Amino acid sequence: MLVQLFTLSVLLVIGWEDLRSRSVHWFWFPVLAVAFMAIRLIQGDTWPAIGLSGALSISFLLIQLLLVSLYFSLKARQWVNITAGLLGWGDVLLLFCLALYLPLLNFIAFYVASLVLILLGWIVWRRRPAGEKTIPLAGLQALLFAAVLITGGLYPDFALTNETVLLSWMTTWM
């Protein structure tokens, strides 16, 4: 319980820092990664299971980042480093931390859902006269994941590190 509360606190700090200053202190990400792995170990997962799950989710993330880089590079007709203006290192590091915690299907589901929700919310927010020009993606995703963690704590059947809940939900809708 203490590890979950600590993890939730780190996510809230990341969210607050990114919303406040559009930057996050780098040391929060290794702390978050260790906290996520500690939760998995406390839940009874083994190091090989955590490693395989993390490797699959991180592989998906790396392919995604490579494809986005290729897209913007082809569009600009020169190599574009997406972390030099399009996507911050905090955004990438948070996604790596989440990839260590979530199995592949749950990671993809959170990743896509959070991007859609943040984009829709940002479109509305930006319409304000003094709206910001940049999206605090890491901060907003950290806050969304904090809400997901709280939901998981309230509903024991909502297991974030187990894909069977998502798979059973998907099969009922198909």
The residue behind tokens 């996510």 is 11
Domain extent listing, the chain: 2-173
Give residue 25's pLDDT: 93
Give residue 124's pLDDT: 82
Q: How far apart are CA 160 and CA 41, in angstroms?
A: 14
Give residue 121's pLDDT: 87
Beta-carbon contacts of residue 7 (< 8 Å; ≥ 6 apart) = 32, 35, 36, 39, 149
Give residue 169's pLDDT: 63
Give residue 81's pLDDT: 84
Grouped pLDDT means (10 residues each) for the chain, 174 residues: 93 94 92 96 92 95 92 88 82 95 93 94 75 81 93 71 67 68
User: Tokens for 91?
Assistant: 């955004």
CA atoms in the 13 A half-sphere facing the CB of 98: 30
What DSSP string runs through 1-56? -HHHHHHHHHHHHHHHHHHHHS---TTHHHHHHHHHHHHHHHTT--HHHHHHHHHH
Whole-prediction pTM value? 0.86
Angle, to 10 degrees, between the axis of helix 104-126 and the axis of helix 47-76? 40
